[in-house]
Structure 1
Amino acid sequence: MAQLEVFARTEVGCVRKRNEDHFVVQNLQTGERGLLPHQRVQPLTSRGTLIAVCDGMGGAAAGDVASALAVDVLSAVIHSKAPFASTAAAQEVMQEAITAVNDKIRAAAVEDPARHGMGTTLTAALAFGPELLIGHVGDSRAYIRRGRSLTQITTDHSVVGQLIAAGRLRPDQARDYEHRNVLLQALGVQPRVGPEFDVVQLRAGDVLLLCSDGLTGPVTDEQILGLMLRYEDPLRCCRALTEAACAAGGPDNVTVAIARFSGEGLELPHGREEVAVHRVQVAV
């Protein structure tokens, strides 16, 4: 049977006083959330596994509250709707969950004026077969490592991300761009949100990385790939990636989640097969 081996880790970094990131790993078959030893290997069943990373924003306005609300609401909604008859049905559920997250954060800010302006990014993966569904708002990222190549799946919902997507800025120029941290979308900030959905055809040996920009800010994609190739075990790889971000100055909270897919039911890559991605952008 096909399965995934998963781990996740979060660190406050070297500059921030508190951690505004949150993550969730949930076995949708059992409902369990966590990373105890017996929870780190899960079958790719029709109910599936949910993995998500959220990067809260707002500082004193409680970005940590926003990201915590996000993972709680996301997991509750998706767990209540599993199993999924198709990838299209799973996408509808994830869109419903993301809308619920947005509404919950906005309502919490109204109830407590001190939390006005809080928000969060969200990058979530739903694994329940040979197709992987990724839902995304903000500038946290999803990558797939296949063989010795690393492919960024999501597009940053930021000024820099759009400039790169339009071919007006090279990725290596983005690190020094003046407005690199300006987000165009985040949950809890606007009445409506337009998430991006990506469907990836998994192959045996694929490795999923979800991360906040606390990793991708100070650590290059080349360095990330090098560490992922060096550390196959998700636990060791998560530790190596977060430590690399801290060694590079740790300017932000850093959160990573790694899932490695294997077993019967997943095709082997065909030669140097590239990662096939089908994208659906939902209008705001």
Structure 2
Amino acid sequence: MKVAGLSDKGLVRPNNEDCIGFKIKEDGMLLAIVCDGIGGSNAGDVASKCAVETFLNDFDQAPSLHTPKEASNWIKNEIDHCNDVIYQMASCNKNLHGMGTTLAGVLMNDKMTLIMNVGDSRVYGLFDRMVCLTQDHNLFQELLHAGQLTSEEIKRQPSKHVLTNALGVYDRAKVDIGLANNDYDCLLLCSDGLHGYVDEQIIKNVLTQQKSAEEKASLLIQAAIIAGGYDNTSVIVIEKEVGSND
């Protein structure tokens, strides 16, 4: 696997509240995560950095995960642990009260690919077409799922992007975990600084180019800047090496 990631504060925000991280262990297991901190002046950057560091540190100590069930159970336990750490930090420091973070990630080897999601950062898979492998945890999706409004009506709602789930905000967080089909060409993890402003066709055009993972990550950041750079933007591109098994 070839992995590359970049994070950029954009052209408008005063600092970067996103954080990314990835690591490949000796047994070939890869963990990659993108976090988008929330809380603004209440230290969203602290929450996102804490989530990444907690996950990667615990990943170092994790046993080998041989099956999707073992991997899924590890993710669930790690989400609980990570949520507890951030929640306790915020509870003990008034300057951090209300902070939290989204988290989108993958835990994978050459036999299985598990997708995890808390919030509205996303994981995309490039197959014969580009597919979003996560579902946003925000008001738009809740209203759409409830059938209360049409998608066009919801798009006119000013609060449609309000998160309904995040790490560290409450004493419990919900996580979606899915087992992806392993026949993708590459995976993309990104914060909403990319998918919220850059058309998916543009993203797909970058991912299908004959370029390295590093070059694709850089081009995706550039696309977000060209679109206005209104938000922090973070991406991780994961590509299969030529000749790797599906």
**TM > 0.5 fold call:** yes
**2:112 pairs with 1:131:** yes
1:64 is displaced (CA, Å) by 0.4
Distance 1:193 1:165 in 2: 19
8 Å CA contact 1:109–1:118 kept in 2: the answer is yes
Distance 1:136 1:246 in 2: 25
Write the deviation string for residues 133-158 of structure 1: whole angstroms up to 9, x where unpaired.
Answer: 111100000000113x1000000000
Query: In the alignment, which residue of structure 1 is the partner of 2:47?
Result: 66
Query: In the alignment, which residue of structure 1 is the partner of 2:224?
Result: 245
8 Å CA contact 2:117–2:134 kept in 1: the answer is yes
8 Å CA contact 1:78–1:94 kept in 2: the answer is no
Query: In the alignment, which residue of structure 2 is the partner of 1:273?
Result: none
Please tell me the residue identity of whatever aligns with 1:116: H
1:124 is displaced (CA, Å) by 1.2
Superposition RMSD in Å: 1.9
Aligned residues: 245
Q: Aligned ranges for residues 11-30 of structure 1 at < 5 Å? A: 11-29=8-26
1:175 is displaced (CA, Å) by 6.0
* Secondary structure of the corresponding residue to residue 6 of structure 2: strand
8 Å CA contact 2:23–2:32 kept in 1: the answer is yes
1:81 is displaced (CA, Å) by 1.4
Give the 3 Å change call, closer, same or farther, for CA 173–80 of structure 1 in structure 2.
Answer: farther
8 Å CA contact 1:160–1:169 kept in 2: the answer is no
Write the deviation string for residues 148-172 of structure 1: whole angstroms up to 9, x where unpaired.
Answer: x1000000000113344567544x8
Distance 2:144 2:209 in 1: 29
Distance 1:101 1:11 in 2: 24
Write the deviation string for residues 163-220 of structure 1: whole angstroms up to 9, x where unpaired.
Answer: 44567544x87765422320000000111112000111212x6210000000011111
Unpaired segments ≥5 residues, structure 1:
30-44, 268-284
**Percent identity, aligned pairs only?**
32
Distance 2:158 2:168 in 1: 25
**2:97 pairs with 1:116:** yes
Among 255, 262, 266, the residue aligned to 2:241: 262
Give the 3 Å change call, closer, same or farther, for CA 169–266 of structure 1 in structure 2.
Answer: farther
Query: In the alignment, which residue of structure 2 is the partner of 1:230?
Result: 209
Distance 1:91 1:57 in 2: 26
8 Å CA contact 1:110–1:116 kept in 2: the answer is yes
Among 161, 169, 181, the residue aligned to 2:161: 181
TM-score, normalization: structure 2?
A: 0.93
Among 181, 186, 191, the residue aligned to 1:212: 191
* Secondary structure of the corresponding residue to residue 201 of structure 1: coil
Q: Which moved more, 1:124-133 or 1:237-246?
A: 124-133
Distance 1:123 1:54 in 2: 7
Distance 2:57 2:51 in 1: 10
8 Å CA contact 2:119–2:163 kept in 1: the answer is yes
Unpaired segments ≥5 residues, structure 2:
none
